[in-house]
Amino acid sequence: MYIPSSITAEKRSRLESGECHRLTCAAVPLPSTGLVSMENKEPQAVAELMNMALGFIKPMSLKCALDLGIADQIYSHGRPMTLSQLQSALSLPQSKEPHLRHLMRILTHFGFIQMQIDANTSAEPIYDITPMSSLVTNKEGSLNLVSLVRFRLESIEENIKALLCMADWLKQGDNKQTPFEMAHGCSLWEMASENSRLNESFNSSMASTTSLFTNVIIKSGGDIFKGIESLVDVGGGIGKVAKSIVSNFPHVKCTVLDLPHVVRDLANDGVVKFVSGNMFDYIPPADAILLKFVLHNWGDDDCIKILKRCKEAISSTEAGGKVIIVDAVVGRPRAREYEETQLLLDMLMISVHAGAERDENEWESLFTKAGFSSYNIARTIGLLSVIEVYP
């Protein structure tokens, strides 16, 4: 080891003994051409660019897994399965086993499936479900989002057509159409009102969020419903969430407000009252209004109109009046690891509805413009936050 003669005796001794093993040096600025840094980063940049361009493979791999029933098959088997066991159980031709292996490889990479290998034996790798894939199995008593995920996957063609119109939509000034409307000539709601399959799929997907809602709002603390005797679930679909609220808080009388084609075949069963109507025109009076996954479907001007209708419908703050919003708050410190999903949803909301996933400043601006006095982000769990807004 070369030690400069100019170094102090103390440092020389520490270097020779090996005690000192960190070198510091003054940075000497060099002329920057950008070529060296670009050359070093280029392979990674190419990979990242291709990853973006091939991003559609990810949901299609998931759809293939759901269509084949891979997660359900492993779950019903009761223990991890080898590839050959899985191929046989799924009734796939023997010739497709190598291709199934590649599908399982990418599903493992995405965290949908986990693969276990015993390095001490030559036994086949075995595959098991993960917390992610358990959300789409028929496992009783657990959170099940299969209807929600299937709706997203089955409507992907309509959504991609909308996204393909994004650039043209952005170039146009005061275009009242959404990218979805540019692509299809109608809104998603209009399409659903004419397409029974889409309408049923959408309503089922919203109903499947009941368990998600229960985890976020009810199990994490029922104090949100303290002092509330009546509640209107705006856009509450077929009433699964409202019935969940009544089941957990019998003192709360719940009403569901939704469009005619959603509630026309639903009977008032004494548990929940269904009202047909448009939230832009009228919201039934109540102590509290619930807006669950509603406002992200709308642009700012429409959100302000909806919030003003809510303000007209609720009691005073002193009487417990408030609007309860369940939606994403982008950029919340506790939700940083979920931000990419929130941003993907943001682009979906823009393309389909000209809506948005909003950060806290954007939410605050809406509340102020709608005439509310204060708000509180009561809790954040995963992708979602619960916001209480007071008149």
DSSP string, 296-344: GGS-HHHHHHHHHHHHHHB--TTTT-EEEEEE-EET-GGGGGGHHHHHH
Which tokens in the block code for residue 239? 């009433």
Beta strands at 272-276 and 253-258: parallel, antiparallel or unpaired: parallel
**CB count, 10 Å around CB of 263?**
20
Question: Which residues are designated catalytic?
Answer: 296
How distant is the alpha carbon of residue 205 from its chain centre?
Answer: 13
Which tokens in the block code for residue 129? 């479900």
Q: Is the dihedral of CA 363, 364, 369, 372 positive or negative?
A: positive
Whole-angstrom Cα distance, residue 132 to residue 136? 8
Listing from the earlier edge strand, what are the strands of the sheet with 113-116? 81-82, 126-129, 113-116
| Residue whose structure tokens are 């994490």 | 220
